[in-house]
Structure 1
Amino acid sequence: MNISKEQLDELNAVVTVDIAKSDYSDKVEKILKDYRKNANIPGFRKGHVPMGLVKKQYGKAVLVDEVNKLLQESLNKYLTEEKLDVLGNPLPKEQENFDWDAEDYSFEFELGLAPKFDVKFNGKKAITHYKIVASDEMIDNQVTTIQKQYGKLTSKEEADKNSLVRGTFVNEEKEINKETTVSLDKIKGKRNLDKFVGSKVGDVLSLKTKGLFTDEHDLISALGVSHDEGHGLETEVTFTISEINEQELADLDQELFDKVYGEGNVKTVTELKDKIKEDAERQFEQQSDSRLLNDITESVLENTKFDLPVTFLQKWIRVTGEKPLTEDEAKDEYEKSEKGLRYQLIEGKVINDNNLQVTFEELKGFAKDLIKGQMAQFGQTNPEDKELDDIAARILSNQDEVKRISDQLMSQKLLTFYKENVKLKTKEISFDDYVKEVYK
């Protein structure tokens, strides 16, 4: 067997695999002998079928199968040994008048090669890394929310401006059908509030979403829509009232502190506010980091330039999908996926060049940290290590979970690397101003 490569240019090559009869004949002969031992052909005893008849009936199929197996094994081995970084898969070239009755065969494959490039981490401008801080107003509002959450509810016949009104928001066109509780102190404007005040169970209110809540995020939560869909949403909804309550705030005492944060962890209102601020800003940090990773990704894509084997990739898309595509369809698909492919190549190079690969021990430790965080939400703050190991083992036995957690860990590793190697400028900002700036 002989395998050779013709380099057409930096991004395209053709590999030729020459297979001689001596490469496959022994294997084919052995399989046909096994067929002969087990063949059930009328007129012949088992194991006594003439070899000529076996070859006539099965020889071509066995030959084709074994040559194709040998071809794939040899090609894959060659690509690995030669360290050829290919995009997609090798595409067999069409060969006119190919003859399976010949004894020696030659096959050609087109290759699309990954480009060589350097990752450009920094552009002309530094990337903004937002440090989102919790304002005093936000902290005070959260204190009130906690008091409401642990306070007492009293049923009422008629709503007033301090009521909690439970009901269902509906808009069939937008596929909104969400049961929720609305605190009327979060309703924006006298006109909207007047629709609720004086209402009773069973009433159906017609409302406009624009300007309905003081905080647009309350609208997103109440309607059960996505973050992007909720911002700036202008439509009409109905709200059918099922329950009206008045809430008596819980006292800010040790009993409340223990219920919220566990016994003895918070002892004063000042410590409560400090804890709320710490928890809020930890969540804000996750949100800010997610935004930073997106911004860095866009910047790196914009600044790292390289060519791709476009013609090869469009052909590969056209012929290897579930159904064949036309050239125009393949071109459209390529254009949709090109940006993702470019970043996949960039990310792979960053990972390989900087040894950011995820090890199993790292994955296990990361999974245990996630489990501990989830358990803490339910008051289990000191789980035993064996319990964590057992839960992690169950989770990591599921390949889908392994991929999900691996992707999370890799994103964390990349973010840490980027923070150390990308030119950043830190901007301290309140959450409300962050939303206005980022989602303007």
Structure 2
Amino acid sequence: MATITKEPIGQLHEKISVKIDKADYFPSFEKSLKEYSKKASIQGFRPGKVPAGLIKKMYGPSLFTDEVLKSVDKELINHLQAEKAEIFAQPLPMEMDVPAFDLNNPGEYTFNFEIGLKPEFELADLAKADITGYNIDITDEMINEEVERLQNRYGNMTDKEAVDGANNVLNVTFEEVDASGNPVEGGVKKDNSLLLSYFAESIQKELNGKKAGDSITVVLGSAFEDKELEFIASDLGLSKDNEADRNKTFKLDITKVSELEKRALDEEFFNQLFPEGDVKTEEEFLAKVKDQIYAYWASQSRNQVQDQIFHKLVENTTIEFPEAFLRKWLVTQNAQEQEGQPAKTEEQIDQEMPGFLSQLKWTLISEKIMKDQKIDVKQDELRAFAQAQLFSYMGGMMPNDTEQPWVNDYIDRMMKDRKYVEDAYNRIQSQKVFEWAETQIKPAAKQISAEDFSKMVNEHQHAHH
């Protein structure tokens, strides 16, 4: 009968020894040998008629070793389940002298494993957390800019011979060049479509009169107004806050010049944007746009509150880890995942440990909240998530009949995709964790402009990356 003993070898770090004797594995070995002899195909013998001695000689050693190892795994798993042990990852075999398995002289074998135990801990008290809830000012300027953006987006385009006005749209190709105007090898090259008004005033004057086929050379940081520079730089895979990116030089090849005719603020336009038919007047349209802007910034503010919750929980919840075990586990994983590639060095593993432990800490916190608050994710919630995601791909337009066969076919297909279901489960779980956490906090309200809020969020993201 198997004997299992354990002893501590570090913080939340234990050694488990599994000793098995002949009675634990030999009956299974003999059964396996008989089953193998029935299906073995060896030249010169009919199936099932191969002499037992030959089968034992040819396949006995490997079958014997398999049954010994299977027996050890079974005893170890049964022990951990009986103990209800909360462990990280899987037990790691400890370095040991490999025993000489002798099927003709079966005896006792001892295998040693190490495990890392999950710690018990108390959550930081969110009721005492210093958290700010930001109320973003919705200004007339923001509403007017959004209305203009919608008018431009749904406006009509007509071709023009040459650039002659602020409402001109230029199709251009950005190509990164050096000081001599030569293309930079491996540099940025990207097509874009821009209103003339996006450019700085000096560049607008230079572009005036230009036609398709003409080109100009600009320095990115001085070619656009600051507000437009952010999204243009982002589209090029650059950052307006990076000095080197701002100083990059680009050749702009004009491929087409058009005139944008803004959509009129009439009922036809209102119905196109809001097919529910509840917007009839310009006043109702402006109110609807304002509601959408408010909803957007409210969601951004909520995201920021959740970010504060995350940091308060991670930074103020004390959790001890079996770091020696986890480091060995990382090394083992690294060795398994680096086939054909150089394995990470000890120094690289050391550098990764703090980030790994921080991520692991949040995982334990989330698990504890889910367990303590009896939060779970149901099948119908996964299906609803898939349906909502499908409609978001369609521009947010939800069909009148959501029970249409093609909708259910899509959801059924997604529910068979294990990776998709795991991702959906984790996202819903995270959402529920934060929803519970939001009920525990008492945020202090603070009024702030959209510009200052965005600046604050960007600075925070830079500080944590």
Instruction: Work out whether 1:243 is the aligned partner of 2:261.
Output: no
- The aligned residue for residue 315 of structure 1 is 328
2:278 aligned with 1:260? no
Distance 1:93 1:103 in 2: 21
SS at match of 2:273: helix
Verify the 8 A CA contact 1:372 1:383 in the aligned structure 2: no
- What is the RMSD computed on CA atoms of the aligned residues? 2.8
Aligned mates of 2:73, 2:134 — CA distance in 1: 51
User: Which residue of the partner structure matches residue 213 of structure 2?
Assistant: 202
Give distance in 1, aligned partners of 2:278 and 2:83. 61
Query: Superposition pairs for residues 118-133 of structure 1, below 5 Å?
Result: 118-122=122-126, 126-133=130-137
| 1:439 maps onto 2:458 in alignment | yes
Contact conserved, 2:40 with 2:48, CA < 8 A, in 1?
yes
2:11–2:321 Cα contact (<8 Å) kept = no
Query: CA shift at 1:352, angstroms?
Result: 1.7
TM-score scaled by length of structure 2: 0.84
The match for 2:285 is 272
Q: How far apart in 1 are the matches of 2:376 and 2:154?
A: 46
Change (3 A) 1:414 1:187: farther
Q: Return the letter of the residue paired with 2:277.
A: G
The aligned counterpart of 2:462 is: none
Q: Give the residue type in structure 2 aligned to 1:317.
A: L
Is 2:265–2:282's contact at 8 Å kept on the other side of the alignment? yes
Q: 2:172 matched to 1:167?
A: yes
1:183 to 195, 200, 203: 195
Equivalence for 1:157: 161
Q: Where does residue 108 of structure 2 map in the other structure?
A: 104
**Identity score, percent:** 30
Alpha-carbon displacement from aligned partner over 1:149-180 (angstroms, at most 9, x marks no partner): 33332322221341211112233578533322
Aligned counterpart for 1:403 among listed residues 410, 422, 428: 422
- Give the whole-Å Cα distance in 1 for the aligned partners of 2:30 and 2:374: 48
What amino acid does structure 2 have at the position aligned with 1:120? A
Q: CA deviation at 1:111?
A: 0.8
Give, in whole Å, the separation in 1 of the partners of 2:49 and 2:410. Answer: 59
* Distance in 1 of aligned mates of 2:210 and 2:451: 32
In structure 1, the partner of 2:8 is 7
SS in 1 for 2:90: strand
Q: 1:184 to 1:174 in 2, by over 3 A?
A: farther
Contact 1:216 1:231 in 2 (8 A): no
Choose from 390, 397, 400 the match for 1:382: 400
Q: How does 1:69-148 map to 2 (within 5 A)?
A: 69-96=70-97, 98-101=99-102, 102-122=106-126, 126-148=130-152
Contact 2:10-2:322 within 8 A present in 1 as well: no
Which 10-residue stretch deviates more, 146-155 or 86-95? 146-155
Contact 1:153 1:248 in 2 (8 A): yes
Candidates 372, 375, 379, aligned match of 1:360 = 379
Q: Distance in 1 between matches of 2:189 and 2:125?
A: 45
Which of these residues, 358, 368, 371, is aligned with residue 349 of structure 1?
368
Contact 2:127 2:440 (8 Å CA) reproduced: no
Q: Which residue of the other structure, out of 276, 281, 298, is the alignment partner of 2:294? A: 281
CA contact (8 A) 2:129 2:312 kept: no
Once the two structures are superposed, residues 305-357 of structure 1 have per-residue CA deviations (whole angstroms, 9 ceiling, x without a partner) of 22211111112222343256554443334344222122222222222222222
Q: Which moved more, 1:112-121 or 1:389-398?
A: 389-398
Q: Distance in 1 between matches of 2:255 and 2:266?
A: 33
Which residue does 2:180 correspond to in 1? none
The DSSP-based 3-state class of the residue aligned with 1:439 is helix
Q: Secondary structure at 2:400's aligned position in 1?
A: coil
For 2:422, the aligned partner's letter is K
How far off is 1:90 after superposition?
A: 0.9
CA distance in 2, matches of 1:218, 1:80: 59
Aligned to 1:245, the other structure's residue is in SS state strand
Q: 1:144 Cα shift?
A: 1.9
CA shift, 1:425, in A, is 2.4
8 Å contact kept, 1:176–1:224: no
- Given residue 168 of structure 1, which amino acid in structure 2 is its aligned partner? T
Q: Does 1:62 align with 2:63?
A: yes
Asked whether the equivalents of residues 148 and 248 of structure 1 are also in contact (C-alpha less than 8 Å), the reply is yes
Counterparts of 1:39 and 1:156, CA distance in 2: 81
Letter in 1 for 2:197: D
Paired letter, 1:364: R
1:67 is paired with a residue whose SS is helix
Shift in alpha-carbon separation, 1:51–1:393, aligned structure 2, 3 A: closer
Residues in 2 aligned to 1:24 and 1:301: alpha-carbon distance in whole angstroms? 47
Shift of 1:241: 1.0
For 1:165, give the aligned amino acid: L
With normalisation by structure 1, the TM-score equals 0.89
Q: Any conservation in 2 of the 1:216–1:230 contact (CA below 8 Å)? A: no
Equivalenced residue count is 437
- Cα displacement (A) at 1:390: 3.8
